[in-house]
Amino acid sequence: MAYKQSYGKQGPVVWEKDHAVVEGIDLPGHWNRMFESRVITDYDTSTLDAITSLPGGESLGWCYQCAKCIAVCPVDIVGDYGPRKINRDVMRGMSLLDSHNLWLCTTCQNCLRVCPKEVDMIQIMPAARQAAIEQGQPIPPELQKVFEATDRYGNPLGENPRKRADWVKGAGIPVPILAQLKRPVDVLWYVGSYPSYHPRGIDAARALARIFHALAVDFAILGVEEKEDGDSIRLAGEAGLAEKLCEANVKTFSKYAFKRLVVFGPHEYNAFKNVYPQHGGNYAVSHYTQFLVEHLDRLRELMSRPLDLTVTYHDPCYLSRHNGEYEAPRTLLKAIPGVSLVEMPRNRENGYCCGGGGGGMWLDSFSRDHTTMRLSDKRVIEAVETGAKGLAICCPYEVSRFEDAVKATGNDGQLVVRDIAELIDQSMRGLPSPDVGRG
Ligand code: SF4
Ligand code: SF4
């Protein structure tokens, strides 16, 4: 005999037999419990469909809630975030396109590294952001300002494009500009927006120019013809503007003859390596740390002064996880006399994001409103905990982020932030160690 149990309006109807004999074994009733087959009519999938129907958004629907991503998401460590949570919230009716969650992901790729279902936030987030922008959803004003500045001036800082090469005046050595050189070069150095305009970025740009000069590299820059590469603009959702920048840069590059492209920033490296080829721009591109490692023997001869500094190194997401380069920066650091390297617990594949990727560079105050702490602050605390007196970087976004975080976390005077190019230049020029950081 079977009986029927009802669990209310939406619950399943349960059919249970008193007992059943299966292959001679008498099973009690609860082993025979079955649900009546149901047709699900009250489950609204429209908010999930709004994302999975976007080109690039499909994989949000593949999540099976295992939560591996949550343990590694840098935003969850200072908040309440991660692909699993976004998938669940969207399934429960949250519209991602008008949620603050849309702007918090830094596209750091740590979740994709561990996800068994390949839920790809690096595709999902730019697609969803682009859809939000196209639908006229409100976007964070600070990001809107950056989009407008980049469109108008060709750089996200809103600086005068005619002053893009002004930094070369203080380099102390000649920095050739391709249009003036009128001959092919071995290396086209794409400098990037922050090294061209930001005061601390300029310090690093001048340092790298001096290193190239000392190595007798046949190089030149584009100067005022250079424009923002557009990769972070694309990841922040402004695909149209990113494409416009890409086309302008490809057109400029095509005017000149050079053997290889060397870039300062990991975001530019990602752009020229992985995105520009889709738009006809194919280049032999290296990050500057990779290029300098090729000249290690000569560099060792040039670096004369020991720096007496213990440093820890921050892996930039777009050089490391995204593009697999973990060793070149470490090799350079270990080659600098007097520098010893200690690692933070989160390093290499599991490196902690500085918060600057995927448009995060321009969303600091927005992120602060939705997390307990900025990612850059968290990272500086991790660096200080190693006992290192220097935080070595090789991404132009990071110097301003981390120097600000050093102050914000009360570590001024405890930790110096230096680009690897600055440390090499310092040793080459025989300058003393930074004021703090003797380790
Ligand atoms: S790791 Fe992948 S499948 Fe697992 S919860 Fe996160 S997004 Fe979903
Ligand atoms: S890409 Fe990074 S920040 Fe974005 S959800 Fe994944 S782990 Fe979190």
- Whether 73 lines ligand 1, by a CB cut-off of 6 Å, is no
pLDDT of residue 437: 38
d(CA 109, CA 342): 24
Closest-CA residue to 156 (of 137, 143, 141): 143
Tell me which H or E stretch contains 188: strand 185-190
Query: Where do we find the tokens 């999975």?
Result: 52
CA 127 to ligand 1 centroid distance, Å: 19
Check whether 272 has a pLDDT greater than 60: yes
pLDDT tens per residue across span 145-183: 999 999 999 999 999 999 999 999 999 999 999 999 999
- Torsion-angle region of residue 235: left (phi > 0), alpha (psi -120 to 50) or beta? alpha
> In 3-state terms, what secondary structure has residue 123?
helix
Residue 125 Cα to ligand 2 middle (Å): 10
> What does the alpha-carbon distance between residue 348 and residue 97 come to, in Å, rounded to a whole number?
32
For ligand 1, is residue 71 a contact (CB within 6 Å)?
Answer: no
Per-residue confidence (pLDDT) for residue 435, from 0 to 100:
60
- Ligand 2 pocket test, pick from 59, 70, 75 with the greatest ligand atom count within 8 Å of Cβ, gives 75
CA atoms within 13 Å, Cβ hemisphere of 74: 29
Atom 1 of ligand 1, nearest CA residue: 115
Q: How far is CA 269 from CA 306, 310, 332, 399, 417, in A?
A: 30, 28, 18, 18, 22
> Residue 187, Cβ neighbours under 10 Å: how many?
18
**Computed over its alpha carbons, how large is the radius of gyration of the chain?**
26
| Torsion sign across C-alpha atoms 88, 350, 389, 304 | negative
From 81, 87, 101, 121, give the residue whose CB has the most ligand 2 atoms within 8 Å, as the site to mutate.
121
Closest CA to 308 of 161, 194, 417, 436: 436
pLDDT band, very low/low/confident/very high, at 10 (cuts 50, 70, 90): low
Question: Which residue's entry shows tokens 């893009």?
Answer: 164
Tokens of 430: 């025989």
67 touches ligand 1 (CB under 6 Å): yes
pLDDT of residue 22: 75
30 DSSP 8-state letter: G
Q: Write down the mean pLDDT value for the chain.
A: 93
- CA dist 430 → 293, 337, 416 (Å): 20, 11, 18
At 24, the pLDDT band (50, 70, 90 cuts) reads: confident
Among protein residues, the one with the nearest Cα to ligand 2's atom 4 is: 105
For residue 68, the ligand 1 atom closest to its alpha carbon is 1
The two most distant CA atoms of the chain are separated, in Å, by 95
Q: Among residues 147, 93, 140, 101, which one has the least CA distance to residue 121?
A: 101
With a 6 A CB cut-off, is 65 part of the ligand 1 pocket?
A: yes
351 C-alpha vs ligand 1 centroid, how far in Å?
19
Does residue 9 carry a pLDDT above 60? no
pLDDT at position 11 is: 59
Among 41-45, 46-50, 403-407, the minimum mean pLDDT is found in 41-45
For ligand 2, the distance from its centroid to the CA atom of residue 334, given in whole angstroms, is: 30
Ligand 1 proximity of 356 Cβ (cutoff 6 Å): no
Q: Which two tokens stand for residue 299?
A: 């560099």
Q: Is residue 30 predicted with pLDDT exceeding 80?
A: no
Ligand 2 pocket, residues with Cβ under 6 angstroms:
72-75, 82-83, 105-111, 121
Token digits of residue 291: 């290029």
Q: Specify the residue with its C-alpha closest to ligand 2, atom 6.
A: 111
Ligand 1 atom nearest the C-alpha of 70 is 6
Q: How far is ligand 1, taken at its centre, from the CA of residue 81, in Å?
A: 12
Digit-coded pLDDT (tens) for 286-326? 999 999 999 999 999 999 999 999 999 999 999 999 999 99
Q: Is the CB of 117 under 6 A from ligand 1?
A: yes
